[in-house]
Chain A
């Protein structure tokens, strides 16, 4: 692929901003998007990793079927193979959802939940209630409930907050604290989407178990996950909670959307979460691993954050910004301690990891708060916030009150990007605006990715993939 051929690529627009329940109307406040910048293009991820499976469903018609009926059918087919006999007739079942599912796969995830609820209600005459567990970020779930009309579609749906009442449970790693209201029913069904966000935490070991150490548990256990384990052992806590008698008494089955950059590749389900995890791990390593290593081949780049997530949780082309932020480290390699204290000039004590030195500046057009990021931003050459409105929104966030101290505030995105490029001499732009299936980049960045992709894929295929699988006892 040469640069001239880039002109042929489609200009897929980003999904529009949503109005939030807290009153924010980003679509009105943030008029300019990264896709509007001169020279920005939508580089199809499939051009970079041609082996990516064709999705059965996508949020964008460019990439596949958009009718959620295909998700319903695929879900039902898998549910027929599950042993539901543990559920006694007429009893209550909690179907546990996750905000990442709504954020990443939207109607596809809702369709999967609807189908599970209908199937289990029909076949076990059970009272299936949907509970949304919480990930980091304080105000997301009420927004998803409203956006997808979940009260009408799924009945009495409830957001279960990590700050809400907890319950102490006994595990092989001592006391842990789960979110009490997630587990008040005699049974629960676990759901997930496989996009490998937060690889630096779970390291793709028991990946599908991660919510048992994070979104299904209280602050005490979440804090222990972050501070009480090493860089490759945080998931021990997830496994310990999942293996506890409390959870095993209630656990019935797991259902997942197996995702790729463009959408949903398949639906899978199993009573045996470990068997399901092994199947999904293979898929994730091959469908996302080459993209992660490709980002590691970038020498210099200016990312633009232009979506609803907070910092690392902004997505572009189906992957999170964290994959670029930490791209110099192969977190999938379990021989790699990948401890920030030992790495590069950005190494520091404690929780935070080192950013890749390839990031020359960061431009924030729009993002939500909720995650502490100032320690990362302090390590950047320059941080540019596109508008005063966004700067004010961020500095009022409980986690970000110092953001203005390390940022330059501009009169619009174009000005912010130009300033970042002038100050750093870096012309490569890479925006995270939640468009699936494409990387939103400018021409120089696209050329670098296209040139480096074949080698990244080949290295993963011949060297890294066998190693990653061997390290996880997957054959």
Chain B
């Protein structure tokens, strides 16, 4: 599903201090900095520059700006962002999703409706970082909270584990957080330490029942 962009951010030049927070937080890297011209009134030596074509109405810049130097402007004509999934190797796409433990049509970003298959297609089109995935598919341009883990997992499925942030001082993302599946031993069990520390959670039971549920669902789909 495409991301529909209805608004873009606008920098208020005479309020911008050039603190770079907006640049460091933008998931689509739509903001850069330039020196403030001599005839431009305002605090700070630098000023933020918005690249409208990459602003997908995430509003993280609006949230983090300490100086009320950003406003949102409604677009007369909203535009949509989506990756073409049909022109990539479908077997490779499925394999990447499988490796990341997602179905091709699993929605991994409920804000934009982006699927795991769309993320894989973007990687096959050349995306190699989370911000490039966001630019190509629109993923993570809504609440920005939920979908980082699937993005890291799909990127890792194509070997992208050591990535460079843009800018280097940015904190749009750091790295993949550990999850339950990392703890599963080759025989399907969990270590004694995990079993002891999380005994009330019964991780082994959880995993077994999850696997059974997924199998049952697939069988149901096959029958249908």
* Complex interface bits, B182-195 against A, C-beta within 8 A gives 1, otherwise 0: 11000000000110
B200 CB within 8 Å of chain A: yes
Partner of B214, one of A341, A348, A472: A341
CB contacts under 8 Å to A, within B104-133, are: 105-111, 113
* Complex interface bits, B141-180 against A, C-beta within 8 A gives 1, otherwise 0: 1111111111010000000000000000001011111111
A341 touching B110, Cβ below 8 Å: no
A226 touching B149, Cβ below 8 Å: yes
A84 CB within 8 Å of chain B: no
* Complex interface bits, A340-379 against B, C-beta within 8 A gives 1, otherwise 0: 0110000111111000000000000000001110110000
Cα separation A401 to B5 with both chains bound (whole Å): 7
Partner of B180, one of A228, A337, A374: A228
Partner of A342, one of B58, B173, B216: B216
B181 touching A228, Cβ below 8 Å: yes
CB contacts under 8 Å to A, within B49-70, are: 56-60, 62-64
A168 touching B174, Cβ below 8 Å: yes
**Complex interface: chain B residues within 8 A of A228 (CB):** 149, 177-181
Cα separation A237 to B177 with both chains bound (whole Å): 10
Partner of A398, one of B57, B175, B176: B57
A472 touching B143, Cβ below 8 Å: no
Nearest CB of B to A185, in Å: 20
**Complex interface: chain B residues within 8 A of A399 (CB):** 110-111, 142-143
State the main secondary structure of chain B at its contact with A: mixed
Cα separation A220 to B140 with both chains bound (whole Å): 12
A323 CB within 8 Å of chain B: no
B213 CB within 8 Å of chain A: yes
B217 touching A341, Cβ below 8 Å: yes
B179 touching A224, Cβ below 8 Å: yes
A339 CB within 8 Å of chain B: yes
B203 CB within 8 Å of chain A: yes
A227 CB within 8 Å of chain B: yes
Cα separation A395 to B64 with both chains bound (whole Å): 22
B110 touching A375, Cβ below 8 Å: yes
Nearest CB of A to B165, in Å: 12
A175 touching B171, Cβ below 8 Å: no
Nearest CB of A to B50, in Å: 16
A163 touching B7, Cβ below 8 Å: no
Nearest CB of B to A287, in Å: 22
B107 touching A396, Cβ below 8 Å: no
Partner of A349, one of B78, B106, B180: B106
Nearest CB of B to A273, in Å: 15
Cα separation A274 to B109 with both chains bound (whole Å): 34
**Complex interface: chain A residues within 8 A of B7 (CB):** 396
A166 CB within 8 Å of chain B: yes
**Complex interface: chain A residues within 8 A of B145 (CB):** 136, 162, 219, 222-223, 226
Chain B residue with Cβ nearest A159? B63
B175 touching A220, Cβ below 8 Å: yes
CB contacts under 8 Å to A, within B63-88, are: 63-64, 72, 74, 78
**Complex interface: chain A residues within 8 A of B6 (CB):** 395-396, 401
A227 touching B143, Cβ below 8 Å: no
**Complex interface: chain A residues within 8 A of B181 (CB):** 228
B174 touching A372, Cβ below 8 Å: no
B210 CB within 8 Å of chain A: yes
**Complex interface: chain A residues within 8 A of B194 (CB):** 172
B201 touching A236, Cβ below 8 Å: yes
A174 touching B178, Cβ below 8 Å: yes
**Complex interface: chain A residues within 8 A of B176 (CB):** 175, 220, 224
B103 CB within 8 Å of chain A: yes
User: Given contacts A243-B197, A341-B214, A472-B200, is CB(A173)–CB(B143) below 8 Å?
Assistant: no
Where the two chains meet, the residues of A that have a C-beta atom closer than 8 Å to any C-beta of B are 136, 138-139, 161-166, 168, 171-177, 205, 218-224, 226-233, 235-237, 239-240, 243, 337, 339, 341-342, 347-352, 370-372, 374-375, 395-396, 398-402, 472-473
Where the two chains meet, the residues of B that have a C-beta atom closer than 8 Å to any C-beta of A are 3-7, 25, 56-60, 62-64, 72, 74, 78, 102-103, 105-111, 113, 141-150, 152, 171, 173-183, 193-194, 197-198, 200-203, 206-207, 209-210, 213-214, 216-217
